Amino acid sequence: MSAGDAFIGLHVFRFAVTFKRAGSGGAVEVCSGAFAECTGLEATMEPRLIRAGGANYGATQRAGQVSFATVVLKRGMTRSRDLFRWFQLVGGGAYAYRLSAEIVVQDSAGHPALTWGLDRCLPVKFKAADLNAKGTEVGIEELHLAHEGLRLYDEGAA
């Protein structure tokens, strides 16, 4: 099987999001939600230039610090109010209350195909949908998450 065959039947528009907090007995699921869009699964490394005396052809490049983009979840639904309560907690001073998030991309049969992990998430923006009886918006318009780590789990490791 080639590397391309592993992604046959993988649809990037089928995914689920689960939020967990670390406890003494392992991770405890806080809530989960269905969102229509997820952007910002991105990590960038800033290379460091090392200029050595006598090396006139060019500088040596070394690995630098990695930064992560803000993950934006759009047009979401959840059965609980936990995501807004989490935002209220953090906005009210409980900035150390972090959750991890798992974004599970599903194949065409609805089975998990790959899982992205976000470490120590912090909600930095919560936008509720406009209240309009004629509108087609859903409960959560946007949830922005700053985080401290992006991982792609091996199959079955999440």
- Full pLDDT tens readout for the chain, 158 residues: 444 454 444 555 678 899 998 765 667 888 888 888 999 999 999 999 988 888 788 888 999 999 999 999 998 877 778 888 898 999 898 878 899 999 998 887 878 888 999 999 999 999 887 777 776 555 778 999 999 999 999 865 55
- Does residue 21 fall inside a structural domain? yes
pLDDT of residue 3: 47
pLDDT of residue 45: 96
* pTM (2 d.p.): 0.79
- Does residue 49 fall inside a structural domain? no
> How many structural domains comprise the chain?
1
- 41 within 8 A of 72, measured Cβ to Cβ: no
Range of the domain at 145: 11-44+60-152
- Does residue 109 fall inside a structural domain? yes
- Does residue 30 fall inside a structural domain? yes
DSSP annotation of 5 reads: G
- Does residue 53 fall inside a structural domain? no
Sign of CA dihedral 47, 114, 77, 90: negative
Domain CATH for 15: 2.30.110
Rounded CA gap, 77 and 75, in Å?
7
Q: Per DSSP, which regions of 24-139 are E strands? A: 26-39, 43-45, 48-50, 60-62, 66-68, 71-77, 99-107, 112-128
- Does residue 54 fall inside a structural domain? no
- Does residue 3 fall inside a structural domain? no
